[in-house]
A and B are shown apart, each in its own frame.
Chain A
């Protein structure tokens, strides 16, 4: 990580632009993919066609600008196809959409190979273009990329009367530095019709004062063309953010009242695209920089804990800074969700099922780290749903359901967590099949009756996925236990609910961020622990009398409610003396309310989560560690896992497998050393 900023600084500016282009292109491609899939649903939607065309145009144009000539040439033909669609000369068919999607994959591969990190198959590209040619059926407009002509061309369709346009074009100060060359724009404009260009050189300063990387020229252009205003505006598509542009008809065509009634388009300063994007302006920050920033904030939080009381004011600042830095890391999950449209589309075709993807709560924001690692588990869940959950259309209709099934991806906040759901309206989990396999695997007795929760936990259990693979028709290499592991690695939990005939819902509960949480610092003997504040409810005292009154059972009576508790001293085998009065931290957990008995509650603590490292990765009840102001390490406990761990210990003790704490080596318990001396 420390290498990355240096490498970035060393890179030539042009490489930086190339990298920026690749990133942007990838984003455009993701969006384009969704657009194409929508287009598949609504082939007549002109807006979608326009959007597709513009996206392709942008990739082609900026690709050529940054030296991705192959990408530009390849995209050109696809763009032409959609230009024909736009002009009503070609219809959107599922074949065209499918072919376009394949072409997008090819563009992605080309971008990838430009990084020396992948190989492309030129034959595949030629094949796609040949098919495209076959579909569009006109070799004049769509020629193979190998023909090698300039990619900067726009097919102009003589659609009607030639009109003269007056175009005022003055590049902004930053345009050249961003890699745009007005000459390319002018050349492209020339393709549209007869061009008369007059350069205004009056703003060019004396040589000594001239900034060589800034454009001082302005142009007045007279263009006589049959192309529509949109086609002219499209030429300026990727420079319009950085120039002043005015396009107006010189003499309004007599038979076209519409164009005179469009005065609103006349002054078009800094572009149409900026308007489109106003709602979603964003900044691109390299991840290493962000990580570094978050590390720094972490240090600051640690130092602040040392400053103690004096820092009351600094604390306000720190928390503001913390929230701010966290928000930088937050990204809407929509992008991740949208990517599944393609998967659902392709998979539905392969499985011969009819499936629609619904997305809800795409604006929900999650830590980038979480989002980055969520893709795979979600993909497995969606595949699972489509493969096993959703029935074939005939079966659905026979069951009285709509032939088209729905897979719904949704996200919403729940406290400091985000709930992500993958729901389908398929057949639900086949409880009988699960039972059968579980019996075969020796996981349950032949006569056992399973509850819904037990079925869910079987499906999620590690041994089970192997059994599925053997019997599975689809034979994917990944089972649900891998999904569970990935989600747990993100400090999340997974919940499965299924209703026969109605569908399955898998809910992932994930923390909003992995970096800093609000915690409650507690002490047991000399050991410090942090419990997540989000799940902490209240804190009550536990005296020796209380313990005596419950006959030594680990339950407390809190305002009439009986709450079980776990004594952390015993559970972690901490050997120090028990104080007269202890505290019970009551927390809301998956299994209901539960208490954790500690010596002292020290108060809330902004906790910078540090990973415990690979060596302790099997210690599940600890979600990380944090460093206190005085340098002491405090373990961050995961209440749910502590409870599960305790339940396991209890059940093992009942079966007689359990070794009671006194015989365990001092200070060692559950594989984790707690230095309590």
Chain B
């Protein structure tokens, strides 16, 4: 389980790897908030994500909204990890899907 933040000049890369759940939720929130600070481009790197729970979905949802509000560009890694797809489908969040560019 790992959540990471890589801050570069204009891009912040948030990485989610392995099994990310409520145990990492507080840390992830801090990272997402830090990533939002004065960045124009935000990347979510999730290729290694194997499992997640509702807390993570909820955080990413709030993150996407915050990014949109701040006018930042949010980029999701392609392809969407299977675990993410399944979780979003289960939670009925398919139609609320975050902007993919």
B-binding residues in A (CB < 8 A)? 14, 176-177, 181-183, 186-187, 190, 196-199, 201, 204-208, 210, 212-213, 215-217, 219, 221
Whose C-beta in chain B lies nearest to the C-beta of A179?
B22
Chain A CB within 8 A of B79 CB: no
Q: Are A215 and B54 in contact (CB under 8 A)?
A: yes
B72 on the A face (CB < 8 A): no
- Is the pair B55, A186 in contact by a Cβ cutoff of 8 Å? no
Q: For residue B15, give the distance in angstroms from its CB to the closest CB of chain A.
A: 17
Q: How far is the CB of B35 from chain A (nearest CB, A)?
A: 10
Task: Please determine whether B62 and A206 come into contact, CB atoms closer than 8 angstroms.
Answer: yes
**B62 contacts across to A, CB distance below 8 A:** 204-207, 210
- How far is the CB of B97 from the nearest CB of chain A, in Å? 11
Q: How far is the CB of B82 from chain A (nearest CB, A)?
A: 14
On whether the beta carbons of A206 and B66 are closer than 8 Å, the reply is: yes
Which one of A181, A183, A197, A208 has the greatest number of beta carbons of chain B within 10 Å?
A183
Instruction: Let me know if B25 is at the binding interface, CB within 8 A.
Output: yes
- Most A-side CB within 10 Å, residue of B32, B53, B55, B65: B55
Contact residues in A for B92 (Cβ distance below 8 Å): 186, 196-199, 219, 221
Interface status of B10 (Cβ within 8 A of chain A) = no
Q: Does B16 contact A (CB under 8 A)?
A: no
Q: Are the CB atoms of A213 and B66 closer together than 8 Å?
A: no
Q: By the criterion CB–CB under 8 Å, are B63 and A207 in contact?
A: yes
CA distance A196 to B95 in the complex (A): 12
Residue B61, interface by CB 8 Å: yes
Contact B54 A182 (CB under 8 A): yes
B22 x A197 contact (CB < 8 A): no
Interface membership of B59, Cβ < 8 A: yes
Distance to closest chain B CB from A219 (angstroms): 6
Q: Specify which chain B residues have a CB less than 8 angstroms from the CB of A183 in the assembled complex.
A: 53-54, 57, 87, 90-91
B96 in the interface (beta carbon within 8 A): yes
Q: Assuming A181-B54, A210-B62, is B91 touching A199 (CB within 8 A)?
A: yes
Whether A186 lies near B26 (C-beta < 8 A) is no
CB distance from A205 to the nearest CB of B (A): 7
Chain B residues with Cβ below 8 Å from A206 are: 62, 65-66
When the two chains form the complex, which single residue of A176, A187, A207, A217 contacts B66, counting CB atoms closer than 8 Å?
Answer: A207
Complex formed: what's the CA distance from A197 to B29 in Å?
26
Flag if A204 contacts B22 (CB, 8 Å). no
Contact partner, B65, options A187, A190, A207, Cβ 8 Å = A207
Q: How long is the Cα–Cα vector from A221 to B55 in the complex, in angstroms?
A: 19
- Whether A176 contacts B61 in the complex (CB less than 8 A), given A187-B90, A199-B93, A206-B66, comes out as no
Flag if B87 contacts A213 (CB, 8 Å).
no
CA distance A204 to B36 in the complex (A): 18
Interface mask (B22-64 → A, CB under 8 Å = 1, otherwise 0):
1101101100110010000000000000000111011101110
13 sample A-B contacts, Cβ–Cβ < 8 Å, listed by A number: A177-B22, A183-B53, A197-B90, A197-B91, A197-B92, A204-B62, A208-B33, A210-B59, A215-B58, A216-B58, A217-B58, A217-B91, A219-B91
Tell which of B22, B93, B96 has the most Cβ of chain A within 10 Å: B22
Cβ–Cβ contact B29 & A212, under 8 A: yes
A62 to chain B, nearest CB (A): 15
Bound together, the chains give a CA A206 to CA B28 distance in angstroms of: 15
Closest beta carbon of chain A to B29's beta carbon, Å? 4
Q: Mark B60-77, 1 if CB is under 8 A from A, else 0.
A: 011101100000000000
Q: Is the CB of B26 within 8 A of A213?
A: yes
A180–chain B nearest beta-carbon distance, Å:
10
Report the bound CA distance from A394 to B32 in whole Å: 78
When A14-B23, A207-B29, A212-B26 are in contact, do A217 and B54 touch as well, CB less than 8 Å? yes
The CA of A201 and the CA of B57, in the complex, are separated in Å by: 11
| B89 to A, closest residue via Cβ | A197
Contacts of A221 in B (CB 8 A): 92
Give bound CA distance, A199 to B61, whole Å: 12
Q: How far, in angstroms, from A186 to B22 measured CA to CA in the complex?
A: 17
- Are A210's CB and B58's CB within 8 A? yes
Known: A181-B53, A207-B36. A201 touches B26 (CB 8 A): no
Beyond A212-B55, A216-B58, whether A186 also contacts B28 by CB under 8 A is no
Minimum C-beta distance from A179 to chain B (A)? 8
Instruction: Out of B25, B32, B91, B93, name the residue touching A207 (CB < 8 Å).
Output: B32
Cβ 8 A contact of B61, one of A204, A208, A219 = A204
Q: Compute how far the CA of A187 lies from the CA of B59 in the bound complex, rounded to whole angstroms.
A: 20
> Roughly how many angstroms separate A215 CA and B61 CA in the complex, as a whole number?
12
Give the residues in chain B near A201, CB-CB below 8 Å: 61, 93, 96
Chain A residues with Cβ under 8 A from B59's Cβ?
207, 210, 212
Closest 8 CB pairs of A and B: A197-B92, A212-B25, A199-B92, A207-B62, A207-B66, A212-B29, A181-B53, A186-B90
Q: Residues of A contacting B55 with CB < 8 Å?
A: 176, 212-213, 215
Q: Quick one: which of B28, B66, B93, B96 contacts A212, CB cutoff 8 A?
A: B28
Q: B residues within 8 A CB of A208?
A: 33, 66
Residues of B within 8 A of A187 (CB): 90
Residue from B23, B59, B91 whose CB has the most chain A CB atoms within 10 Å: B91
Which residues on B sit within 8 Å (CB–CB) of A210?
29, 58-59, 62
With a cutoff of 8 Å between Cβ atoms, the chain B residues found around residue A215 in the complex are: 54-55, 58
* Chain A contacts for B29, CB-based, 8 A: 207, 210, 212
Bound Cα distance from A217 to B58, whole angstroms: 8
> What's the nearest-Cβ distance from chain B to residue A154, in Å?
16
Complex Cα distance, B58 from A187, in Å, reads 17
Min distance, Cβ A172 to any Cβ of chain B, angstroms? 13
Cβ-defined contact, B36 with A190, below 8 A: no
Q: Which residue of A lies closest to B88 (CB)?
A: A199
How many angstroms from the CA of A210 to the CA of B33 in the assembled complex? 11
Tell me the bound Cα distance from A96 to B93 in angstroms. Answer: 44
Complex interface: chain A residues within 8 A of B53 (CB): 181, 183
Instruction: Give the docked Cα–Cα distance between A199 and B96 (Å).
Output: 9
* Inter-chain contact A176/B90, CB cutoff 8 Å: no
Say how far A497's CB is from chain B's closest CB, in angstroms: 60
Complex alpha-carbon distance, A199 and B59, angstroms? 14
Give Cα distance in the complex from A177 to B21, angstroms: 11
Q: Are B91 and A186 in contact (CB under 8 A)?
A: yes
Measured between beta carbons, the chain A residues less than 8 angstroms from B23 are 14
CB distance from A209 to the nearest CB of B (A): 9
Please report the C-alpha to C-alpha distance between residue A221 and residue B57 in the assembled complex, in whole angstroms.
18
Closest to A196 in B: B92
How many Å lie between the Cα of A256 and that of B97 in the bound state? 40
Chain B, residue nearest A184 (CB):
B53
**B25 and A182 contact, CB distance less than 8 A:** no
B93/A213 in contact, CB under 8 A: no
Inter-chain contact A207/B33, CB cutoff 8 Å: yes
